[in-house]
Amino acid sequence: MKKLLLITSLLTIALTGTGQIKIGPEGGLNISNYHFPSIQRPYGSYPVIGFRLGIIADLAIAGDNCYLQPGVLYAHNGTTLQQNSYTLTASGHYMSVKTIEVSMNVLYKFGNPGNSRFFIGGGIYGGKNIHSDAIYINSSSFDIGGGINAGFELKQGLLFRATAQKGFLTPRSYNITVQSSNIVLTAGYLFNRNRAGGVSGKLPDNLMQ
Surface-to-core class of residue 80, CB atoms within 10 Å of its CB (0-12 exposed, 13-18 middle, 19+ buried): middle
**What mean pLDDT is predicted for residues 150-170?**
94
Look at 35-39, 59-63, 126-130 and tell me which has the smallest mean pLDDT: 35-39
pLDDT reported for residue 3 = 53
The rounded mean pLDDT for the chain is 80
Phi/psi for 62 (5° steps) reads -155, 100
- Strand, coil or helix: 12: helix
* Residue 87's pLDDT band (cuts 50, 70, 90): very low
pLDDT reported for residue 86 = 42
Q: Looking at the 3D structure of the chain, how many domains does it have?
A: 1
pTM as predicted: 0.78
Q: What is the CATH number of the domain that holds 153?
A: 2.40.160.20
pLDDT of 66 above 80: yes
CB 50 within 8 A of CB 28: no
Identify which of 6-20, 75-89, 101-115 has the greatest average pLDDT: 101-115
Domain that holds residue 149: 2-208
CB 66 within 8 A of CB 107: yes
Going by C-alpha positions, the residue among 151, 132, 140, 144 that lies closest to residue 56 is 151
**What mean pLDDT is predicted for residues 162-176?**
82
Q: In the 8-state DSSP scheme, what is residue 204?
A: P
